[in-house]
Structure 1
Amino acid sequence: MTSMADKCASVNDVDCPPTKKTKLDNENTIENSDEKNTVENADEKQPNGETELNLSNFEVTRVLQNNCARKMICVEGKFEDREDPAVVLLEQKSFSYDKSTLKKGYFNENTVFRKYLANDIYKNYDCFPTEEYNSLHATVIYPATQSHIDKYKKQELYIIDETYELYEQVTLPHIESKSFSLEWVTNILEHKAEQETIIYEDRDNDTGFVLVTDLKWDGQRDTLKLLALPFQKIKSLRELDASHLPLLKNIRDAGIKAISEKFNVPASQLRIYLHYQPSYYYLHVHFCNLMFEAPGIYAEKAHLLSTVIRNLELMSDYYKKAVLTYVVFKDSPLYEKFKSHGALQTMCESH
């Protein structure tokens, strides 16, 4: 679902933001927090035997967000003869690097150009490519819970400086109180799903992991995005200590080697990082092409794996002492908990 150019890091950015913010990867109470577990394709049969979803029968009730930077719109609505709401995301696809594909799709006799502005050497057109090449990427979440709807609704962001004390008093109890489904992770690790996406696998219980291509990757080298899922069950960055260094170094080294051999992308062109807060509480490492401005790569979200390793080499319990800064979304459960705890300033102080 991620777009290619001039993108903001979040589905919850303002319509045309001057700055980039972090993607809504917070838990936001999504029980099946990753899209792997919630997205259904429009041409997929429903498990209850109902007819296929058809966007021509979709009625929009409201726009949750119109993100011009990411060329994406999120809408809430309902399908005919269905009671439950749905969330639909429409996003522009990336362009091909293949010259013949570009010629066939955008620069042929059937392409329509309508000029609407000209100034010296600069001219602007509305371009209507051939039907085969003017499709959008559509993601359908059905049935959508209120949590799904809230996830894609534009919301205000607030910065949290989380000490380890705050983690123990607020964040950890919140995590433990929720029943986040991680079945999709188990399915990958046990070869029950997404076997075709596995790029590399090391079955060691302590240092092993599975490297898979991200389901949202569009197949282009410049937007390469993969995910490393370890067999060790670790909630998040906060639980890491020096005992995990063999695991982290194996993910780094073996992941880099596998990507170099499979996709011909060198280590110097890879961004390798972890999220905190993550979208789901099973430690995972992101690998993406440095050319790709993937969601969640900004300062309030991403922690480079190389930096995490060095921090743990310097201090074995670094992440039990460090202050970690991230954003929470207004009215999310974690926002409310920090606000009740008195750790979140939401009003400007008068002087």
Structure 2
Amino acid sequence: MADDIPPSSFVLEEILSQDTRTKTLVLLGTAGPDRARAILIAEKTAFAINGLAPGTAFAADALADLRLLDHNDVYRWFMATAKQDVDAAPAVKLSLICPASDTHVRKYSRQRRRMIVETPELYRTVVAPYVERMRGDRITWVYNILSHKVEVDRIVHENPDPDTGFILLPDLKWDRTTMEALYLVAIVHTHSITSMRDLNKSHLPFLRSMRAEIVGAVETKYGVSRDLLRMYVHYQPSYYHFHIHVTHIDHDMLESVAAGRAVLYDSIVAQLESMSDEHYGFANSTLSYYVGENSELWASGFSAVADHF
């Protein structure tokens, strides 16, 4: 992996998107000695509250500059500059993708969305071929994690069983400091499950044991109890190797947990439990979700059959 490409080498070409709710900015440009195409994602971090305690002067301790904008009756509005420290109170989290593929650029560009009602037939004819194209070399980075080639020091918990095991590690979106923003991902070892579409009733023992292991590991490592955890999967997922998102219930993450994208883990288990046949599962279900028009799934498949849903 190229670990010698710092964000300071990034040269801006275009603003791909920005989100004023999540305070995120996505930029397209070049980076590194070869000036490879790159995407830089800048995200404002959460307030650091570890040093706050009753009796402390917040404005004096946490703010460097303060200016009154306006006031009306009991209401006053200010602008301020926060005191920052890269270890205790970082201001911005940066993610650099380099070299960035056309798929990356489409994913992070501003785009219109479309709702999909995916029947089993539509999955077989349109989605399944796309899923196969998106596996293999496209997710080498996932296989690198599972084979301990990278990110070994970040592993929170691992069950090494090749069929029922998984690796639990912090998502790169989390600063690993703010517990209310806790965000972990559990990636299964087996390559036989690409998404929730592949799950059937025979997977229930695996899903139940994995849930118990995950919540136990999080409680042991971070002291966050199971009733403060939100576990879910995405459909469609951002990559086709089954993984579970684990976040603190107080972490809003509007896009990640939005209806039409996130499916609660316990709801998946409950639906499978209600199915009568042992091998009946989500391959036989109709699933609704949204996709962006810039996505390869829409461009290469759904756009041609858009009148069918």
Same fold (TM over 0.5): yes
Pairing 1:270-289 to 2, within 5 Å after superposition: 270-289=229-248
Pairing 1:85-100 to 2, within 5 Å after superposition: 85-100=37-52
Q: 2: distance between equivalents of 1:276 and 1:174?
A: 14
Residues 239, 75 of structure 1: alpha-carbon distance in 2 compared, 3 angstrom cutoff: same
* Kept after mapping to 2: 8 A contact 1:171/1:334: yes
Residue among 158, 167, 182 paired with 1:210: 167
Counterpart check, 1:229 vs 2:190: no
* Kept after mapping to 1: 8 A contact 2:15/2:28: yes
Q: 2: distance between equivalents of 1:66 and 1:326?
A: 23
* Unmatched 5+ stretches in structure 2: none
Greater CA deviation, 290-299 or 73-82?
73-82
Pairing 1:300-311 to 2, within 5 Å after superposition: 300-311=260-271
Correspondence for 2:155: 198
Correspondence for 2:218: 259
Residues 314, 135 of structure 1: alpha-carbon distance in 2 compared, 3 angstrom cutoff: closer
Residues 106, 139 of structure 1: alpha-carbon distance in 2 compared, 3 angstrom cutoff: farther
- % identity of equivalent residues: 30
Q: How far 1:283 moved relative to its partner?
A: 0.6
Residue among 99, 105, 114 paired with 2:67: 114
Counterpart check, 1:84 vs 2:36: yes
Pairing 1:1-351 to 2, within 5 Å after superposition: 44-46=3-5, 54=8, 58-78=10-30, 83-100=35-52, 107-108=60-61, 111-130=64-83, 132=85, 135-180=91-136, 181-219=138-176, 220-233=178-191, 234-294=193-253, 295-315=255-275, 316=278, 317-336=280-299, 337-343=301-307
Q: 1: distance between equivalents of 2:107 and 2:268?
A: 28
Q: Greater strand percent: which structure? A: 2
- Name the amino acid aligned to 2:190: Q
Q: 1: distance between equivalents of 2:247 and 2:22?
A: 18
TM (norm. structure 2) is 0.86
Residues 241, 134 of structure 1: alpha-carbon distance in 2 compared, 3 angstrom cutoff: closer
Residues 334, 124 of structure 1: alpha-carbon distance in 2 compared, 3 angstrom cutoff: same
Q: How far 1:178 moved relative to its partner?
A: 3.7
SS in 1 for 2:39: strand
Q: 2: distance between equivalents of 1:232 and 1:80?
A: 35
Q: How far 1:86 moved relative to its partner?
A: 2.5
Q: How far 1:235 moved relative to its partner?
A: 0.8
Q: 2: distance between equivalents of 1:97 and 1:284?
A: 31
TM (norm. structure 1) is 0.76
Q: 1: distance between equivalents of 2:249 and 2:239?
A: 24
Q: CA RMSD in A?
A: 2.6
Aligned residues: 297
Q: 2: distance between equivalents of 1:179 and 1:198?
A: 23
* Kept after mapping to 1: 8 A contact 2:116/2:288: yes
* Kept after mapping to 1: 8 A contact 2:27/2:40: yes
* Kept after mapping to 1: 8 A contact 2:198/2:281: no
Q: How far 1:109 moved relative to its partner?
A: 9.6
* Unmatched 5+ stretches in structure 1: 1-36, 47-51, 346-351
SS in 2 for 1:216: coil
